Amino acid sequence: MSVVTRFAPSPTGYLHLGHAFSAFTAWRRARDAGGRFLLRLEDIDPSRCRPEYAAAIQEDLSWLGIDWDGPVRVQSEHLDDYRCVLSILRERGLLYPCFCTRTDIAREIAASAAAPHAPDGSPVYPGMCRDLSADERAARIAAGERFALRLHARRALDGPLSFEEEREGAIVCDPAAFGDVVLARKDAPASYHLCATHDDALQGVTLVTRGEDLREATHLHRLLQALMGWPVPRYAHHRLLTDPSGRRLAKRDRAATIRDLRASGTSAAAVRAMLT
């Protein structure tokens, strides 16, 4: 089977060395194997993504000599695909509307003795909207109350799941640890988890390379694959680049952006050498 990898940045800022490392890793894996390397813009969050960043990412990758195969997939142009997945899951009773605000959730957590956290550090949703009656849901929706859609984790889980992490072998998943995650937000049509997993399947990605900060999310992605019958790629989560003090590079660190390196006269070859 030929290798298909992808780089899937969210256009919320300029590309920094950490992203370039991710892109380079995926690109190298595809090119070394004579496979395909895809570029996907994960821009479904309208409050954070900007078209100028999307354009800048493509320009910076091209400057680095990282080329991609086929058209760029822009997630905001495919919202119907994600809505379709949501409606399938909803019809199967695996999603429920959640009307809670952040404040409601924080208050409930503060009042309860246990406050479990998901592996990604976010608090687990205490479940206030999980068992609302059909009548109450319908009435609140009819009254125009805004809602997110959450996965009913207990119903969704059906038997053990695992995924293949390149260096470590099979990893047994624990998606229940995330609780009832949001798959469609009040202010964005679908979540990162849903869109990324859908697109990896649609685009025939066989090897997902990405930073180890997303390693835990893979447990959830594996559950979505099982629910939707999507193929399961292999995973290679790579280490994150840090600054000399050991702090993870982030979009706020302007000095590490590819644009600034270029503006300061650093050559593309020198940046690529840094990445290897």
Residues that bind ligand GLU (CB under 6 A): 8-10, 42, 196, 210, 214
**Residue (76 or 126) nearer to ligand GLU, CB:** 76
**Residue (97 or 257) nearer to ligand GLU, CB:** 257
* Cα 81 to Cα 169: distance, rounded to the nearest angstrom: 32
Phi-psi region of 12 (alpha: psi -120 to 50; beta: other; left: phi over 0): alpha
Percent of the chain as helix, strand, coil, to the nearest 5: 40, 15, 40
**Residue (12 or 105) nearer to ligand GLU, CB:** 12
Type of residue found at 62: S
- CB of residue 241 vs ligand GLU: minimum separation in angstroms? 14
- CB of residue 212 vs ligand GLU: minimum separation in angstroms? 11
- CB of residue 189 vs ligand GLU: minimum separation in angstroms? 16
**Residue (8 or 98) nearer to ligand GLU, CB:** 8
The residues, ordered by sequence, that sit 6+ positions from 26 with a Cβ below 8 Å of its Cβ are 5, 6, 7, 37, 209, 210
- CB of residue 14 vs ligand GLU: minimum separation in angstroms? 13
From start to end of 21-74, where are the E strands?
Answer: 36-41, 73-74
**Residue (86 or 208) nearer to ligand GLU, CB:** 208
- CB of residue 269 vs ligand GLU: minimum separation in angstroms? 26
The full length of the chain comes to 276
